Structure 1
């Protein structure tokens, strides 16, 4: 059996974090995903779906530090359903995505990525002194794609 959900969307609010007596944390927030289609009148329509997301322990701590309303985020987890009673004693049902991992998809700064050196690190001429291991490292690192080009 498989229960797997992948979402790419925008946070609708800052994570709401609660700390339990034992020190464990839980974070909750909503994520909006959009779907666009061409209607019968040949006009583009957009449908926005809202998803409730729950993160536990270390993920909740990371979410508290890294995520803010409006951020674009990749979330992977499982779909869960639960029942609770509201203040009037009426049974309510909720569907949530319990995240196993998440990744912020936006850059934190506007400068170049620090994950990979830019092309200026490559030898510019044969007269530049580099050891074979430096040349090999530079060519491996600069041929790798920029991490911001990845969908997750």
Structure 2
């Protein structure tokens, strides 16, 4: 049996970089910082790639510092460097499911809502 599944919970390291294609596809790329058990250790950083409706949710609601959970699979992107001709590699998590985990207070502070009486549910 072969399984390639990764589950992570952490904070967005930057705003999603969103690209729209003529075909109607959408992709969002950003980083995720996941803390280690010890506060003395640096967090682990992951490159995330999200497609489709989940990418649009990331574009609309994920901000730098947002607490999120993801489920996805691990892959290695590879390409030839245009300047040197060398092979380059980058580990990426292809996200299948994105969960917004931040509290209502965090959402308001990050500008998700201007109305303090509004529901904390996200319309999708």
- Which ranges of structure 1 fall in alignment gaps of 5 or more residues? 38-43, 116-152
Match of 1:78 among 73, 82, 85: 73
CA distance in 1, matches of 2:33, 2:63: 13
Secondary structure of 2:103 counterpart: coil
Normalised by the size of structure 1, how large is the TM-score?
0.65
> Per-residue CA shift, 1:6-50, capped at 9, x if unaligned?
00000000000011121200000000011133xxxxxx6222110
User: Higher relative contact order by CA 8 Å / sep ≥ 6: 1 or 2?
Assistant: 2
| Corresponding residue pairs, total | 109
Paired residues of 1:10 and 1:32 also in contact (CA < 8 A): yes
Q: Do residues 47 (structure 1) and 48 (structure 2) align?
A: no
What value does the CA root-mean-square deviation take over the aligned residues? Answer: 2.1
Residues 1:57 and 2:52 aligned together: yes
- Alignment gaps of 5+ in structure 2: 109-115
Matched, 1:34 2:35: yes
Decide whether the 8 Å contact of 1:36 with 1:47 is kept in 2.
no
Q: Which residue pairs with 1:98 in the alignment?
A: 94
Q: Secondary structure, in 3 states, of the residue corresponding to 1:79? A: strand
Q: Secondary structure at the match of 1:35?
A: coil
> With structure 2 as the length reference, what TM-score do the two structures score?
0.79
CA shift for structure 1 position 100:
0.6
Structure 1 residue ranges, 4+ long, deviating more than 3 angstroms after superposition = 108-112
- Matched residue SS, 1:27: strand
The higher radius of gyration belongs to 1
CA offsets, 1:34-75, max 9 Å, x none? Answer: 1133xxxxxx62221100000001111111011100001000
